[in-house]
Amino acid sequence: MALGALASMGRSVLERSYRDLVAGLDERERLLLVGEEEGKVVGMAHVVFSGATNADHRAEVQRVGVATEVRGRGIGQDLMSAVEEAAREHGVTLLWLTTHADSDACAFYEAIGYTRMGTMPNYSRRPDGTLWPGAFYFKELFA
Ligand SMILES: CC(C)(COP(=O)(O)OP(=O)(O)OC[C@H]1O[C@@H](n2cnc3c(N)ncnc32)[C@H](O)[C@@H]1OP(=O)(O)O)[C@@H](O)C(=O)NCCC(=O)NCCS
C-alpha cells in the first residue's frame, strides 16, 4: 500500500520524511500512534484533526499499516481501538478515512465498523504510480 508514499521515493527518502514528520509533530494537528512488540515498531496509525473552525469534532485517520510478518493477529484492530480512544480524548466524535478501492484494507475497515460512503475515481496513486480509485469510509464514535 502507498500510505501516502510512492515506491520510487526509495527507503532513505521515506525514512527521512518520517523522521522530519516526527521531529515537527504538532499534536494539535496530528497524533501518530504506533504498535510495538518486543521493543520493535510493528504498526502505525495517524489521526489528523480537522482544521475547520466548525468541525473540531472530526478527524481523518491516515497511514494505517501493520508489518507484513505480524498481520492477521489483531494488531490492526488494536491500533484502531487506540485511534478511537485517542480521538475521544480529544473530543473527536467522527472519524473518516480513504483507502485504495478493491484492496484488502476495505474488508479490514468494514470488519471494524466503518461505513463505506462511496468511491472517488483516480483519487491517489498506487506505489507503482498508477492512479487508483479511493474508497471513502467513516465511523461515528458514540458515547
Ligand atoms: C489492513 C491492515 C492494517 C490490517 O491489519 P491486521 O493487523 O492484519 O488486521 P487484524 O488482524 O487486526 O484484522 C482485524 C479484522 O479485519 C479483517 N481483515 C484484516 N485483514 C484482512 C484481509 N487481508 N482480508 C480480509 N479481511 C481482513 C478481518 O475480519 C480481521 O478479523 P479476524 O482476524 O477475526 O478475521 C494490514 O493488513 C496492513 O497493514 N495492510 C497494508 C497496509 C494497508 O492496506 N493499510 C490501509 C491503507 S489506509
**pLDDT tens track for 20-56:** 999 999 999 999 999 999 999 999 999 999 999 999 9
pLDDT tens digits, 111-142? 999 999 999 999 999 999 999 999 999 999 98
Q: From the CA of 109, give the closest atom in ligand 1.
A: 16
- 79 pLDDT above the threshold of 80: yes
How many Å apart are CA 58 and CA 48, to the nearest integer?
9
Inter-residue contact 123 to 2 (CB < 8 Å): no
35 within ligand 1 shell (Cβ under 6 A)? no
Nearest atom in ligand 1 to the alpha carbon of residue 62 is 48
- The CA-atom distances, in angstroms, between 62 and each of 18, 33, 75, 121, 143 are 14, 11, 16, 19, 23
The answer to whether the CB of 64 is under 6 A from ligand 1 is yes
CATH 3.40.630.30 for domain 7-140, yes or no, is yes
CA of 84 to the centre of ligand 1 (A): 17
Question: Could you state, in order of their start, the residue ranges of all structural domains in the chain?
Answer: 7-140
Give the three cell numbers for residue 33: 500512534
Which distant-in-sequence residues (6+ apart) come within 8 Å of 120 by Cβ? 98, 133, 134, 136
